[in-house]
Each structure stands twice: as structure tokens, then as C-alpha cells.
Amino acid sequence: MFGVFNAVSILSNVYGNVITVEIQSTIRQPAARNMMRGLLLCYVVVISTILPVAVTGYWAFGNISNGNILQNIFSEGGKQYMPSWSFILLNILILVQLIVTSVMYSQPTFTVLEEPLYYSKKPMTMWQGILLRLASRCIFTVFATLLAAMLPYFGSINALIGALGYTPLVFVVPKIFYLCVFKPRSGGLERRLIYFTLAIFSAISFMGCVASVQQLVMDAKKYHLFANL
């Protein structure tokens, strides 16, 4: 059961749409309709590509499947289950995906870091602004890469972040805001459904925290800085 809630926490981290508001503010009008089109396209891509891999991967490997898909390709004896060319192609596609997603998810952080620098002095020229952004983003990327190499406990950390952060932010807090702003009729079906989903996702968030911490404690003996997992 702990494994189930651990997995749900990871899913909320991976597929949570907290970044949607940040993206919507930059989309041409009508923003709501264009955002809906973009979301539908994204979900079609996810359902048609990632979901089949998850289903067939668990079908093939079962409970021994690893959170890192690349580690499922090799047996314990080091035997590779796929041709070398497809393994290289898989690594290239993963790299492309990480570049796209990391840039998208890092935009709010870049804004917070760059605005004080950009507006602290007299107006900058175009090239000065480009160099400032290039330097600050390279430093941020180097720091993030170093931190990821120091703490390579990807699945466990993802589960904890998903349970503590993404699940409340995506599934709990928006419903509370909706209740405060729109004030659905007391005793009505809408308010009852909101309370029901609030209770469900609050319980999932709590159980996800417990499960992820339990998994971290169980795996603590394998953890050390720059561990080769």
C-alpha cells in the first residue's frame, strides 16, 4: 500500500499543472481557449507515448521495474535487452525532453533571479541583457546539475516533493480558492463534490508523505553523496 501512495505522489509531481498559470500569462488572446487547446494536445501526446511505455514496461518487468527506465534495459549480469542503436536513440530523446521541460519549469525561477539584477542599475543594452541572462542561467544550471549529482535519489525525492508540494498545490489549494471566491450554494451538489474531492486529495497527500518518508528511511543505507545508483 505504501508503494501505491508513493507512486501516486510521483505521478502528481510529474503530471501536475502548477506551471500552467505561468504559461497562460504569455499566450495570445483568447488565452483560455488557446490554453485548452495546448493542454489537450499535451495530454494526447502523453497518453499516446508515455502511458503505453508505462503499461508495457510494468507488464514486462512487474515489481522489479525501476523508476529509471534506463536501468530496466540491463539485467543484473549487465546484459542489454535492446539494440545499441535504439539505446543511443532513447538517450538522445530523453535528453531532448529534459532540455525542453527543464527550460519551461525553470522560467519562474529565472524571472525571480534575473529581475533584481536586470533592474538594479541603469537600463541595459540588448547585448548586456542577453549576457546577463546567459550567465545567470548557466550558473543556475550548473548548480542544479551539481545538486542532482550529489543527491541521485530521483524516485524517492520526486515522491516526497509530489506529496508535500504538487498534490496540495494542484488538487487541494485551487478548490479552497474556488470556495472562497465563487461561494457555491451551501448544501448544493457542487459544494458537496468539492468537499469530497478535498477530503480525498488531502488524504492522498498525507498518505503520500508517509509513504515517501517510509521509502526514504528504507533506502537510507544506500544513500550517500554522489551515490552510483
- The Cα–Cα gap between 133 and 173 comes to 33
Q: Model confidence over 66-124: pLDDT tens digits?
A: 766 777 777 666 677 778 888 888 888 888 877 777 777 777 788 888 777 776 666 77
213 CB-near residues (< 8 Å, 6+ apart): 160
Residue 124 one-letter amino acid: M
Cis check for the bond before 30: say yes or no (omega within 30 of 0).
Answer: yes
* pLDDT, mean over the chain: 77
137 CB-near residues (< 8 Å, 6+ apart): 106, 110
Tell me the β-bridge partners of 150. none
Residue 169 one-letter amino acid: L
What is the separation of C-alpha 141 from the centre of its chain, rounded to a whole number of angstroms? 17
Q: Domain-by-domain residue ranges, the chain? A: 2-222
Mean pLDDT, residues 43-56 taken together = 80
Residue 229 has pLDDT above 60, yes or no: no
What pLDDT sits at residue 9?
Answer: 65
What pLDDT sits at residue 97?
Answer: 78
208, 5 Cβ separation under 8 angstroms:
yes
Residue 60 has pLDDT above 70, yes or no: yes
